Amino acid sequence: MSLRDIERSRAVLESFKGRRCFATLATNSIKFRFGDGATKGRYIWIDPSWVYSREWGEITSSDAYTDETFRAWCELFDALRETVFEHFEEAADGSLTLHFSGGYRLFVPAQLTAEEDRDLEYDHWYACDEKGA
């Protein structure tokens, strides 16, 4: 997660605010898909690390994933299977918090220094809005 990730995806995140989305898990990465099956190119993809929580505290994190407990772990995300992306908060250090209906949120911490960010091409998370995809 970096300031570069936010700068590249800020406009797309803004366009997703207030829209219905559907979460799916690929091991400990999360994809929030927006729209219907005809709009497969509209999504937010997040690789570890991240923390999933609600107002009262942490529910789980990407670090809690194991192959042995995957099914039970996935059930913790039932509230995000179909939800509304309400808004996001970005911090000066490059961290991001995504807010969903029902008070659920996903915190994506900053992981790179500004120098490391310049040297890497990897995006820890990104938002995509390819309307024709």
pLDDT in tens, 25-69: 988 999 999 976 555 678 999 999 999 999 889 999 999 999 898
Cα 16–Cα 21–Cα 22 angle in degrees, nearest 5: 150
Q: Decide: 34 and 127 in contact? Cβ < 8 Å.
A: no
Residue 132 pLDDT > 50: no
Tokens of 129: 């809005």
Q: How many other C-beta atoms are found inside a 10 Å radius of the C-beta of residue 123?
A: 15
| Rounded Cα gap, residues 29 and 77, in angstroms | 12
CB crowding 5-36: b at 16 or more within 10 Å, else e: bbeebeebbeebeeeebebebeebebebbbbe
Measured between alpha carbons, how far is 133 from 61 in angstroms, rounded to an integer?
30
How many Cα atoms occupy the beta-carbon half-sphere of 121 within 13 Å? 0
Region 89-101 average pLDDT: 91
Please tell me whether the overall predicted TM-score, pTM, comes out greater than 0.75 for this model.
yes
